[in-house]
Amino acid sequence: MEKRVYNFSAGPAVLPLPVLEKAQRELVCYPGQGMSVMEMSHRSDAFIEIMTRTERDLRALLGVPDNYKVLFLQGGGRLQFSMVPMNLLRGTGKSADYILTGSWGKDALKEAQREGETRVAWDGKEGNYHRVPSQAELKLDPNATYVHFTINETIQGVQFPREPETGNVPLVCDASSEFLSRPVPINKYGLIYACAQKNAGPAGVTIVIVREDLLARSAESLPGMLSYKVHADADSAFNTPPCYALYVVGLVVEWLRDTIGGLDKMHQLNQKKAARLYEVIDQSNGFYTGHATNDCRSLMNVTFRMKNAELDKPFNKEAEAAGLVTLKGHRSVGGFRASIYNAMPPEGVEALREFMLDFARKHG
Ligand code: PMP
């Protein structure tokens, strides 16, 4: 087999090797079916079994309470920027609160503004989105129809250590870039959504966990494909679901349960991995500086800059030559971003750590 690199891409991102290997073994013939999952009818017993099992395992892994629906949708994280306000804001005569801690939250707000009244409960613009607000800083509207926040900002590498408190107002979360990386108190939320292509599987499927009472807000006039209620009533098979992507999500969930040992274990591992990189940054005497403030550094996306930006190009080139790829930061933040999702093995983090230490010794 060709040698695999350590891929620090922000998404689509590295998948667990055992998952890829199992998918490879079952690619041409899914056991007992004589055909690939890609070739199966989504109404077949075999596929319905895959989908039912995936949902059941995901619910068990996350501890999703019975009064929440789990939906497998399409359209990525971005379609949720629109579906959330279409279903939960449109026609309510109320306004929705948005907490802005980075690029994705701002984009979510833009889409909500097309649908109705919105307010900004906090905006981290002043510090170029390098931190999350304290509870006291949030200017929440007690009559808001929901509060939206981005628990991990993929571009800035800023992560909420815990959920903001919103009282009786439903909390809506874009969890795209941290989903399944740590346990979640689901009952604090009205709705959580995540595109799959970071921690949960390949691009093409988006997971939505929604409290059942909120489904009553989906207007009858909404196009079926854009209505949470329609998808929930059809058990995520209103149209052909993203079958293969969904099957891989099932394999990832199985890996998290059986190989990793659950989300607590995953969280501990993620904390250890991130600490190894932040330690290099902190002990580099300013050669590297982190973007996020210490108390809200992301465990998933480690963002940093070099004191001397002229070294950016050589850093990238030498890293690639060492098999450490896709480290370039987003242009709005600059520098570098090491995305170390669940499937990035500790060995990959250690290899990057050694590379960073070595590079600083040579150029510092
Ligand atoms: N939200 C967050 C936090 C993201 O990181 C991304 C993708 N990087 C999106 C939303 C958009 O997802 P998609 O490209 O699947 O629409």
The pLDDT of residue 364 is 85
The answer to whether residue 1 scores a pLDDT higher than 80 is no
Residue 116, both tokens: 């109705």
Among residues 69, 104, 106, 255, the one annotated as catalytic is 104
Rg (CA), the chain: 21
The answer to whether residue 91 scores a pLDDT higher than 80 is yes
Ligand 1 pocket (Cβ < 6 Å) reads 11, 76-78, 104, 150, 154, 174, 176-177, 195
How far is it, in rounded angstroms, from Cα 132 to Cα 138? 10
Average pLDDT over all residues of the chain: 97
Give residue 81 CA to ligand 1 midpoint distance, Å: 10
Among residues 174, 229, 273, 328, the one annotated as catalytic is 174
pLDDT over 90 for what percent of the chain?
Answer: 98
How far is it, in rounded angstroms, from Cα 196 to Cα 177? 9
**Residue 20, C-beta contacts closer than 8 angstroms, at least 6 positions apart:** none
The answer to whether the CB of 219 falls within 8 A of the CB of 241 is no
The answer to whether residue 362 scores a pLDDT higher than 80 is yes
Give residue 194 CA to ligand 1 midpoint distance, Å: 8
Active site residue 272: no
Residue 352, both tokens: 């990057």
Choose between 334 and 26: higher pLDDT: 26
Give residue 195 CA to ligand 1 midpoint distance, Å: 6
How far is it, in rounded angstroms, from Cα 167 to Cα 205? 31
User: pLDDT-derived band of residue 8, with 50, 70 and 90 as boundaries?
Assistant: very high
Active site residue 198: yes
User: pLDDT-derived band of residue 124, with 50, 70 and 90 as boundaries?
Assistant: very high
337 torsion bin: left (phi>0), alpha (psi -120 to 50), beta (else): beta
H or E element at residue 47: helix 45-62
Question: Is the whole-model pTM more than 0.75?
Answer: yes
How far is it, in rounded angstroms, from Cα 204 to Cα 280? 35
Please give the torsion angle defined by the CA atoms of residues 239, 243, 245 and 251, in that order, rounded to the nearest 10 degrees.
Answer: 130
Beta bridge mates, 297 = 158
Q: What is the mean pLDDT of residues 209-229?
A: 97
The pLDDT of residue 210 is 98
How far is it, in rounded angstroms, from Cα 119 to Cα 103? 17
The pLDDT of residue 165 is 98
Residue among 78, 152, 192, 330 to mutate when testing ligand 1 (max atoms within 8 A of CB): 78
Residue type at 159 in one-letter notation: Q
How far is it, in rounded angstroms, from Cα 97 to Cα 146? 6
Give residue 107 CA to ligand 1 midpoint distance, Å: 10
Residue among 150, 177, 206, 207 to mutate when testing ligand 1 (max atoms within 8 A of CB): 177
Active site residue 122: no
How far is it, in rounded angstroms, from Cα 102 to Cα 159? 10
Comparing CA positions, the residue from 134, 139, 126, 70 lying closest to residue 98 is 139
The answer to whether residue 259 scores a pLDDT higher than 90 is yes
